[in-house]
Amino acid sequence: MRLPILCCVLMWLSLPMASAQVPYDTLQPDQQAIIYFDFGQDRLRPEAEDSLRLLLEGLDRTDDRWIDIEAHTDSIGSAKANRALAMRRAQAVASWLVRMGWPAERIRKTAVGEGRPVLPNDTEEGRQANRRATITLLRRRVLTTIRGQILDDSTGVALESMVHILAREWADSTTSGPDGRFAYTLPAGEVVRVDVRRAGHFFSSQMLRAMPGLEPLAIRIKPIVPGAKSDIQHLYFYGDRAILLPRSEPELPVLLQFMQINPAIAVEIAGHVNRPWNPPVDSTDRSFLLSMNRARMVYDYLVREGTPEHRLQYNGYGNWEMRFPHATTEQQQALNRRVEIRILSTGKVISKQQSLQIE
């Protein structure tokens, strides 16, 4: 029994990249098609050829992409016979691609045989699903390494810290050594966010594009002491509302983690709005209430997620503490509208070993 033709059309997948820490150029999965075969056959079905045409559509045959073919079978017959059938299926796909103009030297073939079924082989439906070939388009990526050093902002002392690297489609982490230094290898040109998280210090975050020749990062993180304050980074709201933009929702768990790895601190959540070229607003003014409500939104989240209320306060400051009272640029206005964490009191900070166990 054949699978429905719909199952044989091109499957465009968001594929995880190959290991981000391979110290040389790498092949990164880009697009993928899955095609199916009749029992015991290596001949391409018409719908399989349609899927392959879609995979090749618009591609430059002269660029440095590769195609990986991985062929499978059901479990009927011996393992040796099925590996041979899988190789014939892989070769059939490769031959078709070469006829379509794809360079033979940029095709890799793997005969898996019956070893990795996607469904049990005890039904005809399962066996048909296993008579398949997966064709993956691979893009060659040049790798580069970003390097940096983590320092205490007050003393300049090097710090061991967790360093999180976040891209659009993947995330990873590493640690800085006793000298505060870290290195991470990734595809050149990737836009990433570098987050530094350590107990006893405010978290740090910055965006960058990883390019060859990038200067080492000097990341200074502020220690937690009474009276210290820091913006909650990347926290953006809908205009005139106390509702986060979707892209900022992941920032709240980061703040929760900050409270969890510093279990003795008490903080004030301080909301601010942007009203430059105006006198300080009254506490009954709409914009003052907006600053209060935005701080309250963050407070409510932390309480809901288990942070004890006695460790938290929230307050609104309207436009009383704008960094740029006469803001003229969007960047200055963005710095005026913010939510801060202010340290009210500290207690015993958890150990260095605990600080390096941040997930």
* CB 54 within 8 Å of CB 9: yes
Alpha-carbon span 232 to 228, nearest angstrom: 13
Q: Determine the average pLDDT of the residues in 177-206.
A: 95
Alpha-carbon span 292 to 278, nearest angstrom: 19
Query: pLDDT tens digits for 269-312?
Result: 999 999 999 999 999 999 999 999 999 999 999 999 999 999 99
Alpha-carbon span 173 to 196, nearest angstrom: 10
Residue with tokens 């082989």: 121
Is there a single domain that holds both residue 137 and residue 161? no
List of residues 6+ apart from 305 with CB closer than 8 A? 256
Q: Determine the average pLDDT of the residues in 259-272.
A: 96
Q: What is the total residue count of the chain?
A: 359
Lowest mean pLDDT of 47-51, 144-148, 349-353, name the range.
349-353
Residue with tokens 């963050």: 298
Query: pLDDT tens digits for 8-23?
Result: 333 333 333 333 333 4
| pLDDT over threshold 60, residue 147 | yes
User: Per the structure, how many domains does the chain have?
Assistant: 3
Radius of gyration of the chain (CA): 28
Phi–psi pair at 155, nearest 5 degrees:
-105, -20
At residue 348, the pLDDT reads 56
Is there a single domain that holds both residue 258 and residue 173? no
Query: Is this structure's pTM higher than 0.75?
Result: no
At residue 303, the pLDDT reads 98
CA-to-CA dists, residue 17 to 28, 47, 207, 307, angstroms: 6, 28, 20, 36
Classified as helix, coil or strand, 45 is coil
Is there a single domain that holds both residue 23 and residue 94? yes
Is there a single domain that holds both residue 266 and residue 349? yes
CA-to-CA dists, residue 69 to 5, 52, 153, 194, 293, angstroms: 21, 12, 52, 35, 56
Is there a single domain that holds both residue 286 and residue 332? yes
Domain termination residue (choose one: 141, 174, 192): 141
Is there a single domain that holds both residue 358 and residue 230? yes
| pLDDT over threshold 80, residue 26 | no
List of residues 6+ apart from 112 with CB closer than 8 A? 70, 71, 72, 83, 86
Alpha-carbon span 21 to 187, nearest angstrom: 9
Q: What is the CATH number of the domain that holds 231?
A: 3.30.1330.60
Helix (H) or strand (E) holding 257: helix 251-261
| pLDDT over threshold 60, residue 334 | yes
Alpha-carbon span 48 to 321, nearest angstrom: 64
Domain termination residue (choose one: 141, 176, 191): 141
Alpha-carbon span 309 to 332, nearest angstrom: 33
At residue 350, the pLDDT reads 44
Is there a single domain that holds both residue 287 and residue 298? yes
Residue with tokens 């029992």: 39
| pLDDT over threshold 50, residue 238 | yes
Mean of the per-residue pLDDT values of the chain:
88
85: containing domain: 5-141
Tally of CA atoms within 13 A in the half-sphere of 33 that contains its CB? 23
Domain termination residue (choose one: 223, 253, 287): 223
Query: pLDDT tens digits for 117-141?
Result: 999 999 999 999 999 999 999 888 7
At residue 331, the pLDDT reads 86
